[in-house]
């Protein structure tokens, strides 16, 4: 038999606790920003990239904090409920947390942080450092906390038998009423449906992989274009952060966020093509990140009434607007397709359904005695 590797229960509980702690930290900073905002809507426009300062200080959170809270909460629930997907969920949440918290370690230590945010800088720096450490811990738990468990037959009911015409032998002795010769009875629920559902699963996987690759290509293409258009010095500030690019204390630079989304989408596409059971969490995370980026861009464009003059825009700006709409709809579609991805692996190591086997020949069923025997 093959060997599967799943997280032990104690490891899953520990990972869920770490994810819950990270999610609650991000939620706490979001509540703080909402309380400091003159209007709750101002915080969203700040997340969308508009020059709206929701409070007197520089806000702490950004759109990436909403994404991280969502992914961490989902990983917390998955770790507690699914032994098979727990490792992938913890690894995806940990990797995203590490990638998006890492820039804060050098940005928040600079002297260029606006004075209005100086009072919160130390707390934000502690949050970034703690997020980085806990994210690394999640990745290590997912990589090192797995144990081998033997594969076994998938059974959700009695074993499958092929009748010999008299019916299957019952546990209490004797034979059940006759059924058709050669009929399979008592099999697992859904037995025989695997072959019919395989083409649908292949189509879903192919569509998910194509969309993830297209999202990664769109994001990478615009980043390469901006690097060539702006020059290496200006683009480096967009990648590593600078005083003009700092709109929120925990916000990673725009180019850094874009490349993180590209890397996440490519990793998820590879997992989907490899038909790995671990494909669902990274694919869902990539779809959620691109969906949030698309929704933020779309709402900001509506706010400035960009669509009122859409067809009078320069060709490059029009293409950028259409790309952001593509991110929105493709990200939403990836989320829907991810929910339809097969939960069980296929191929080597997959638990097999036992093949039907015939009952040994037995005596014929008893006939009723004649009257007065």
Give dist(CA 238, CA 255) in Å, integer: 5
- Over 70: is that where the pLDDT of 290 sits? yes
pTM tops 0.75, yes or no: yes
Choice between 205 and 367, residue whose per-residue pLDDT is larger: 205
Q: Tell me if 288 sits within 8 A of 67, measured CB to CB.
A: yes
Task: Give the pLDDT band of residue 342 (cuts 50, 70, 90).
Answer: low
Encoding tokens for residue 68? 């991280």
Nearest to 256 by CA among 75, 130, 128: 128
**Mean pLDDT value across residues 353-362:** 51
What's the pLDDT score for residue 145? 73
CB atoms within 10 A of CB 292: 20
Please, what is the Cα angle at 123 between 91 and 245, to 5 degrees?
80
Cβ neighbors of 202 (< 8 A, separation 6 or more) are none
Mean pLDDT, the chain, whole residue set? 79
CA dihedral 7, 13, 18, 23 (to 10 degrees): 110
Q: With cut-offs at 50, 70 and 90, classify the pLDDT of residue 237.
A: confident
Q: How many residues does the chain have?
A: 373
Tell me: the pLDDT tens digits for 70-118?
Answer: 999 999 999 998 888 899 999 999 999 999 999 999 988 876 666 556 6
pLDDT at 364: 59
């Amino acid at each position: 038999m093959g060997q599967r590797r799943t997280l032990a229960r104690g490891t899953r509980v520990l990972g869920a606790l770490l994810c819950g702690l990270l999610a609650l930290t991000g939620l706490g900073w979001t509540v703080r920003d909402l309380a400091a905002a003159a209007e709750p809507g101002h915080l969203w426009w700040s997340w969308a990239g508009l020059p709206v300062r929701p409070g007197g200080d520089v806000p702490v959170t950004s759109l990436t904090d909403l994404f991280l809270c969502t992914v961490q909460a989902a990983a917390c629930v998955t770790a507690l409920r699914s032994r098979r997907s727990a490792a992938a969920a913890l690894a995806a949440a940990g990797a995203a947390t590490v990638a998006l918290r890492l820039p804060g370690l050098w940005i928040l230590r600079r002297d260029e942080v606006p004075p209005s945010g100086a009072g919160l800088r130390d707390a934000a720096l502690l949050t970034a450092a703690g997020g980085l450490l806990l994210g690394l811990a999640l990745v290590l738990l997912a990589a090192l906390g797995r144990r081998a468990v033997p594969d076994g037959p998938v059974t959700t009911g009695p074993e499958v038998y092929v009748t010999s015409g008299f019916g299957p032998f019952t546990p209490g002795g004797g034979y059940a009423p006759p059924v058709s010769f050669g009929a399979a009875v008592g099999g697992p629920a859904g037995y025989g449906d695997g072959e019919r559902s395989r083409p649908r699963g292949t189509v879903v996987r192919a569509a998910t992989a194509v969309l993830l690759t297209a999202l990664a290509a769109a994001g990478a293409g615009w980043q390469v274009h901006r690097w060539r258009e702006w020059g290496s010095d200006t683009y480096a500030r967009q990648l590593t952060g600078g005083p003009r690019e700092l709109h929120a204390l925990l916000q990673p630079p725009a180019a850094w966020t874009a490349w993180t989304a590209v890397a996440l989408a490519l990793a998820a596409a590879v997992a989907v093509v490899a038909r790995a059971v671990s494909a669902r969490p990274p694919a869902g995370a990539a779809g959620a990140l691109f969906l949030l980026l698309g929704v933020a861009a779309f709402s900001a464009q509506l706010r400035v009434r960009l669509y009122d003059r859409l067809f009078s825009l320069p060709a490059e700006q029009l293409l950028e607007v259409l790309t952001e709409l593509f991110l929105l709809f493709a990200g939403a579609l990836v989320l829907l397709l991810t929910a339809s991805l097969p939960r069980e692996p296929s191929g080597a190591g997959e638990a097999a359904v036992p093949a039907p086997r015939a009952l040994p020949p037995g005596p014929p069923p008893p006939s009723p005695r004649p009257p007065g025997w």
